[in-house]
A and B are shown apart, each in its own frame.
Chain A
Amino acid sequence: MQIGAGRQGYDGPVAVTTDRKLDAHRLRADFPIFEQTFHGKPLAFLDSAASSQKPRQMLDAMNDFYETSYANVHRGVYALAERATEALELARHKVQTLLNAPSAREVIFVRNATEAINLVAYAWGLVNLKPGDLVVVSELEHHSNFVPWQYIAHRTGAGFRMIPLDDHGELRLGELDAIAAGGDVKVVATGVVSNSLGTMNPVEALATWAHEHGAIMVADGAQSAPHMKMDVQALGCDFVAISAHKMCGPSGVGALWGKAELLESMEPFLTGGHMIRSVGDDETTWGELPHKFEAGTAPMAEAVGFGAAIDYLTEIGFDAIEQYEHELAAYALGRLAELPWVTTYGPPAERRAGIVSFNVDGVHPHDVAQVLDFDGIAIRAGHHCCQPLMRKLGVAATNRASFYVYTIPDEIDRLVEGLHKVKKAFG
């Protein structure tokens, strides 16, 4: 695939890169969304942590699948159905490679990371948790990795504990032993990267600790998979959940990776067509992995788009992406530090992904985001699906600017200019 080959949309000449450094100006041309204006201004899209924009290469792959290869997968014996099945399984293989998973059987297509975590919470948690057990999450968690566990803990009578944060928004691992003293730790579930603060969590250390206690380690990779190399074997996790839409792929598809022996031992989450071996009048037996967990018609075109998005990001290089986002985070934190009436949250740039949460003194985030929108600048304002974290920070909401491969420093400059307008209007 050729990247950066789209029409010139935004600005500047295209520099040809020979090393693996990311050229955001060049990549930007691949994203049709930037060809329009909002409120008469070019779009400064600083909300990629909520969902990323889509490159033409990914859109073309989905369209091509619909136009040339579409039929329901697996069951058909005709050539077209086989072609569709091949496309779906190729996408599965790409997810396997992305995550360095030992086997494609361990890659289950789901709707999104939230569904992936619910799958584990229901299919593993509901059966294996009981009173006296503990489910441990962190104060940083997105609701996607918090609410399912809180809910299943309540249903099973298991305890539910949070790993507290320090003042930098990083996990206080020193508290782990005190938590473990309160029961049998059976599940440890944390994000790899925080969607609110950009904190990069010590998942490997948590996985080791979880396994020492005989617990499973569940990692929410929705916010890390777009931005850095993910290696489920190196992380030492038992389950990892990701969403395509945050990493240049379409909405409606994500993946759960799980260790084969755990997945084999679990009952299904959703039942119905495709996930069966045989259906009797009184009893049904389940299909093999991964089909046991893929009831109903798969999100086929979406999976193909997911595969194309993985190709696109792999071509750029995850090391280059991670490096570039650190640079953007450092630049944004530096520019925001020029504004004494702005408070930023979270760890220093070298220990965070491309996410910056902040507040303007005395101005509600909704008003900040609204004023910025008038200048074509899209940020998120709210609790970012992290109400426990907001309580910890002592705020109702924050503003969040988040970056991706197409973000250019000029957009951060426009953010800072916009914040001056906010201050002038409300200060």
Chain B
Amino acid sequence: MSEFDQLYRELILDHYKNPRNHGLLEPADARAEGQNPLCGDEVTVSVRLGDRDVIEEVGFDGRGCAISQAATSMLTDLVKGRTAQEVAAMEKDELLDELGIPLTPVRLKCAILGLGVLKLALHKAKGTPLPDEWGVAARDLVLE
């Protein structure tokens, strides 16, 4: 398989060209936006929560590279039905396994942008914890 086909495998391009759960929810119980300062990728995520803070609906909007937008699309499918606490505790590797593509450190930031924004939205709405590795600058940045 060529390097192109490994990175931009069919599933990634499909999510990029036909994003799932696209469009923001109005009203929403949780919402946040974030940018990747390296390349200006933008993602906004909105969530509707049910009993026990279970994610019933999720919608996103954004602009950026295929990896950032496809990863966010796949993420939205993945988290439906999970509680806010479960998503806060979700390891990035779970999303990366789902993506199933080789990522350089730079592209890794693209891939996990949506997950970070979703965790931030839940943090703002429900006080769920943010990843330990986030420094003050990262929190400020996505809080803009």
Give A contacts to B, CB under 8 Å: 39, 364-367, 370-371, 374, 381-383, 387, 390, 396-397, 421, 425-426
Contacts and interface: CB of A to CB of B under 8 A. Distances in A.
18 contacts: A364-B41, A364-B63, A364-B65, A364-B66, A367-B67, A371-B4, A381-B39, A382-B38, A382-B39, A382-B40, A383-B39, A383-B40, A387-B40, A396-B39, A396-B41, A397-B40, A421-B4, A426-B66
Q: Which of A370, A382, A421 has the most CB of B within 10 A?
A: A370
A371 B2 CA distance: 11
B39 A425 contact: no
Nearest to A364: B65
A366 B67 contact: yes
Interface string B6-47: 011000010000000000000000000000001111100000
Contacts of A39: 3
Nearest to B4: A374
B4 A365 contact: no
B64 interface: yes
Q: Which of A367, A383, A421, A425 has the most CB of B within 10 A?
A: A367
A381 B65 CA distance: 11
A425 B8 contact: yes
Contacts of B66: 364, 366-367, 426
B3 A374 contact: yes
B121 interface: no
A13 B6 CA distance: 38
Q: Which of A366, A374, A387, A397 has the most CB of B within 10 A?
A: A366
Contacts of B3: 39, 374
B4 A366 contact: no
Nearest to A365: B39
B110 interface: yes
B64 A396 contact: yes
Contacts of A387: 40
Q: Which of B3, B4, B40 has the most CB of A within 10 A?
A: B40
B107 A396 contact: no
B70 to A, nearest CB: 10
B8 A396 contact: no
B40 A396 contact: yes
A381 B64 CA distance: 12
A390 B7 CA distance: 27
A396 B42 contact: yes
Contacts of B2: 374
A421 B64 CA distance: 19
A364 to B, nearest CB: 4
A374 B110 CA distance: 18
A165 to B, nearest CB: 19
Nearest to A396: B40
Contacts of B39: 364-366, 381-383, 396-397
B5 to A, nearest CB: 10
Nearest to A391: B40
A366 B110 contact: yes
Interface string B51-95: 000000000000111111000000000000000000000000000
